[in-house]
Amino acid sequence: GGGSGVSGACVVAKAVDPEIKVVAVQSEAAPGGYLHWKKGEPVEAPVETFAEGLATKVGYDLPQSILRQHLDDFLLVSDDEIRYAVGLLVEKAHTMAEGAGAAAMAGALKYKDQLKGKKVSITVSGANTTIPQLQKALEVYQRQ
């Protein structure tokens, strides 16, 4: 979304150990925060994601200033990759996560080869989802 959650993760992780790598994950269907971070200035982008917590047109200035100092990478994933992660969390971890809350899992799944052999922590949060959103996520998960 606007970067508030991952900026908090950056502050905490880097205080614990400056060598910890922090990576943000955003829906490619609402890339405003990602584009703001990449270009170093606000970029208004379309918002077409189902993941409401990621649905911001631009990144927020305060979190973006923290991200510029501390964020190691920023990844984009598709909405179907997020839906798959929601379904996987339900099936394998018995955990309900809304789209925004499953985005980090979607990023880890997409880039699993780069993470192989590394210690990885993934924040999964929020269960603010509708039955139709959950049904679609489970359909995407079951197709793959």
Q: What is the tally of structural domains in the chain?
A: 1
DSSP structural state of residue 58: S
Range of the domain at 80: 4-143
Q: What is the model's pTM?
A: 0.94
Give the pLDDT band (50/70/90) at residue 2: confident
pLDDT above 70 coverage of the chain, percent: 100
pLDDT digits over 47-94, tens only? 999 999 999 999 999 999 999 999 999 999 999 999 999 999 999 999
pLDDT for position 134: 97
Give the pLDDT band (50/70/90) at residue 1: confident
Cβ atoms within 10 Å of 39's Cβ, excluding its own: 10
pLDDT for position 26: 97
Give the pLDDT band (50/70/90) at residue 35: very high
pLDDT digits over 85-136, tens only? 999 999 999 999 999 999 999 999 999 999 999 999 999 999 999 999 999 9
Sign for the pseudo-dihedral over CA of 124, 119, 79, 86: negative
Q: Which residues pair with 24 in a beta bridge?
A: 74
Decide if 81 contacts 57 (C-beta within 8 A). Answer: no
Specify whether the backbone of 23 is left (phi greater than 0), alpha (psi in -120 to 50) or beta: beta
pLDDT for position 77: 99
Q: What is the average pLDDT value for the chain, to the nearest integer?
A: 96
Alpha carbons 75 and 110: distance in angstroms, whole number = 10
CATH number of the domain enclosing 10: 3.40.50.1100
